[in-house]
Structure 1
Amino acid sequence: MGRIFFVLLIINAALLYVHYSNSAVADGYDKNALTYSQEIEVQYDGKQFIVTHHFTNLAPLDYDIEWPKGSSDIACVESEITQCTRSDEQLSKIVAGEATEQTYRYTLPKPEAVQGVFEVGQPFAKIANAAPQLTTVHIVDETTSGGMWVTGLEQIGTHQLEDFHYFLFAGVGEVTDLFWQQEVTPLAHRGERFTLFDRAVTDEEFGEHIDELLTQFKSKHMTVVLHQGNHNIEANRYVALPESEKENIANVLFTKSVQTAYGIPLEERKIAELVGSILLEQPIGTPPANAAYGKLTETLAADDLVRLENALREPQEEPLTAERFDQLVGSASHSEVNYFSEMLAGQTPEHLLLYEPKEVVHGEKVLEGVQPIKMKGQLYYPLRPLLAAFDYEVTSDEQSIHVKSEDETFRFSLIDSFYVYQQKRVNLRQSPYMLINGQYYFEEQSLLRIFKLIFEHHEDEIQVSSLRAVIEEAVEDEEEGSAKS
């Protein structure tokens, strides 16, 4: 419980940072923190949506309008209260002016329903360079065919008349998706941050626990619909799950709260699960995210993990994408990382590799193909290209790694922890190698101890040399000096 409370404080701090960096503008109208309110009236006739969209509390500055995909018949609407004094001819901007309100009307096509369900992504217009603070949505369903509507905002009420059914929603933030299902699921819990629709008798303590969790996160209101169908739909502010997945609610909402706090894109949910796992110090979420968390803890040194956790506690000035998370892991471990970007791109990298960014140099020659990787703070080098620079030949079979030069032979067992040097067996406390992407890597200290290689670390490069060569050169210099004397 203490750990969870600590995580809540971290995410709460991140959310406060995001909130105040995007809060309502002061007298100077900070163009990077513009806000507005909106009231949206939706008329649905079974074939299309006719939307009347009121933008209010506008600052006297220019705004760009983003219209929903597929919208048509866009027009500015005047009334006794509102005039179109701030609309340009192309209806692409709200131009600078004194009026604080503008109203538009547009039409959206209805998507095809599948098994009594449909969803409209980004259903409403929005102002590109500002954030909605308060949103009210009225839905008038003229089909009177029943069903339920979900916006993610709190459902204030519904009313059924002979000619139409009416739904009212209101809350903080925007509506990113609109959802309808034919099945009407009863209201089971209504809280400040969380509304649950569920046929089963819901434990109120469970609902209050979820609500308290989201309140601690300063999360926007979220809606969960548990239904008897088999659809599984997730948007920024709501999820619709089969009743059998009720036990996943807390995990889903926790993950979505992390996404909100760190600005993680919806399609990169695995990163949100991974961040949650790091903050809780235990795996949460889907098996792929758990596997990635396992690789992270297996690969990073303890100090690296601490640095990564500290970086995540800091306010994030940009969305935490997979690429950005790679950068944070790389910064914490002083390495180059692309694992999480590859994972989100649909690839399945076998290993989390922390690449050492320095070049490896022998004399004045850069060793091509010798890029070290880090594991638990130790450097590992690809054995074959590294030892080739010192005239060793490396081969392997199912049981052993063989290393040969003109006057030395090594055989490393792949079964037990030992190697044979010049027919003499040497036991090892642990194997010095790893097999990664079909190539054997040896740990730096083992290369020093066994092959007598010296590694000098500089700011931009790692200089590697042979201790035997250094000794032989010193002996030759001494002999030359003695001969001269």
Structure 2
Amino acid sequence: MKYIVSFFSFLVLLIGGVLFFQYQTYSAQQEKNIGHYTYSQDIDIVYRGDSLHIRHHFRNLPNQSISINWPEQAASPDCFLEKENSCKRLSKDFSKFLHSDIQNQSISYIIPIDGGLKPRQLLKDIFVTLENGTATHSTVHITTDQSINGTWVTGLPFIGQQSLSLVHYSMFSGSGPVNDLYYQAEPLPIQGNNDKITIYSPNPVQHDMIKQLEEMELLNDEHMAVILGDKPSGLQGSRILFSDKMSIEDLKEEILLTQMHMKYQCNQLPVWAAEVVASFLTDSFLGGKKAREITMTLKNQMTDEQRELWVERLQELEGEKIDASLLDHELGGVFGYSTQYFQSNVSADEVMPLLFFDDRDVYVDHQLTKDIDIVFYEGQVLYSAEPLLRHLGYETSVGKNGFYAKNKMRQFRFPFNYDFYVYNQRRYNTVSQPIQSVSGTYYIEESWLQKLFSVEIHKMKDSISINIVDSKQ
């Protein structure tokens, strides 16, 4: 009997352990599968004692666990009891909102400002954000005591301000998130505005410039603030553009590039690459010499259908982290062949050529190789010469008089930039270059490979076979 009871107890513990493990695994999987969601937010800011005291209200939260991303400089995180249930979902360690049907939650925190507000100060990334969430609407209220004069800018549309007996109050509200806060002690009047852009300037701005800025086509509908005048060193906000450009075309370009950074996470992209993306999204030529040359190269290479597909693929990347590798992947999808165009240009001062790669397996005399590249360049099919010729039994070298390939019976020399080659001490004229240097790599053109080195090339769906047909080589 004792044996039966012990065995039964063991089974209960075993089954309980298995169920607990499955529950933990399920819970972890559920956390991983949390999808993207949207919410709205109200942010109340009071400046006092050299700090911003913030009450942050989140609306329309989904019923799922939500991690809270606190700003690095945030101090004294806490619950703010706006209503009875305002903190019901807040975890004890303030790291997340827990599962609940309660949609509205409120928190408070302090952003210390070392030495107090400066005459011109941009405070970046000072607000709480929610993991995997996007704020579709934000409202910001700013209150200071009567002694603090000046102008506040958030990037959101300016709603209004009021000076009371003891405090100054400003309000901003509009679509999208808010990340930064700018303060300027000197007057900074609004010179023009609409639902997409507000122009601030201490000096009058020409009416034609304001009109063109208000009428320009922007990349998205989220409002932004443009502050004209002396450009503070190193200052730039996510929805706040500081510009000293007096040319309307230069200013338009700055606005579009700023919006590019609003739409995409492109911190890992070099400036020229972001300019190329913005150029295609706006059907224009933006940025410096390198960006314009690359944009022109791609546009000349694309058909109208390919250009439309490329723009669609770029638009689908909105909100994602973009790097050169991802752009190459999308570009390869447009052309049907892989490329490393953006990656090759990241570390190069000059513009590298646009090459497409044939990704099929390459066999030489029935042996799979891993070191031979086949590229498409300027209408030609090129094979990486040195590894391929070595697989065919040749020694290769490069000297001042050209590219050399030899074995026991055959010797070739291909001079650079001359219309001939030398075979076994005899010169033969050509109308094209058999061996070409592209981006520092030597390639042999496909028809010359077949003619000079007596090989057959068979192309299948997943592989390419290169076989010697003259055994006397």
Q: TM-score range by the shorter chain?
A: 0.7 to 0.9
Matched residue of 1:446: which SS? helix
Match of 2:257 among 245, 255, 258: 255
Match of 1:455 among 454, 457, 466: 457
Match of 2:155 among 133, 152, 158: 152
| Contact kept in structure 2, 1:111 and 1:120, CA below 8 Å | no
Once the two structures are superposed, residues 135-156 of structure 1 have per-residue CA deviations (whole angstroms, 9 ceiling, x without a partner) of: 1111223484544322111122
Matched, 1:168 2:167: no
Matched, 1:385 2:384: no
Match of 2:138 among 103, 114, 135: 135
Change (3 A) 1:214 1:39: farther
| Contact kept in structure 1, 2:71 and 2:127, CA below 8 Å | yes
Shift of 1:221: 0.3
Matched, 1:321 2:322: yes
Please show how residues 89-128 of structure 1 align to structure 2 within 5 Å: 89-97=92-100, 99-110=102-113, 116-128=119-131
Once structures 1 and 2 are overlaid, which stretch shifts more, 190-199 or 372-381? Answer: 372-381
Match of 1:371 in 2: 373
Cα distance in structure 2, aligned partners of 1:417 and 1:297:
31
Cα distance in structure 2, aligned partners of 1:239 and 1:257:
9
Normalised by the size of structure 1, how large is the TM-score?
Answer: 0.76
Matched residue of 2:316: which SS? coil
Matched, 1:227 2:226: no
Shift of 1:127: 2.6
Cα distance in structure 2, aligned partners of 1:413 and 1:164:
81
Match of 2:51 in 1: 48
Match of 1:274 in 2: 276
Normalised by the size of structure 2, how large is the TM-score?
Answer: 0.78
| Contact kept in structure 2, 1:231 and 1:241, CA below 8 Å | no
Change (3 A) 1:308 1:321: farther
Residue type of the alignment partner of 1:321: I
Match of 1:36 in 2: 39
Match of 2:364 in 1: 362
Please show how residues 155-304 of structure 1 align to structure 2 within 5 Å: 155-160=158-163, 163-214=166-217, 217-243=219-245, 247-260=249-262, 263-268=264-269, 270-278=272-280, 283-293=285-295, 296=298, 301-302=301-302
| Contact kept in structure 1, 2:345 and 2:351, CA below 8 Å | no
Change (3 A) 1:277 1:36: closer
Match of 2:342 in 1: 340
Match of 1:307 in 2: 306
Shift of 1:67: 1.9
Shift of 1:39: 1.4
Matched, 1:73 2:76: yes
Cα distance in structure 2, aligned partners of 1:444 and 1:280:
39
| Contact kept in structure 2, 1:358 and 1:461, CA below 8 Å | yes
Matched residue of 2:41: which SS? strand
Shift of 1:49: 1.0
Aligned identity (percent) is 23
Instruction: Give the total of aligned pairs.
Output: 435
Change (3 A) 1:296 1:418: farther
Match of 1:84 among 87, 110, 122: 87
Shift of 1:44: 1.7
Cα distance in structure 2, aligned partners of 1:284 and 1:466:
50
Cα distance in structure 2, aligned partners of 1:277 and 1:317:
15
Match of 2:5 in 1: none
Cα distance in structure 2, aligned partners of 1:232 and 1:446:
55
List gaps (5 residues or longer) in structure 1.
1-29, 474-485
Cα distance in structure 1, aligned partners of 2:464 and 2:84:
73
Cα distance in structure 1, aligned partners of 2:343 and 2:117:
33
Match of 2:26 in 1: none
Cα distance in structure 2, aligned partners of 1:381 and 1:179:
56
| Contact kept in structure 2, 1:46 and 1:143, CA below 8 Å | no
Shift of 1:122: 2.0
Matched residue of 1:468: which SS? coil
Cα distance in structure 2, aligned partners of 1:367 and 1:80:
69
Cα distance in structure 2, aligned partners of 1:64 and 1:388:
57
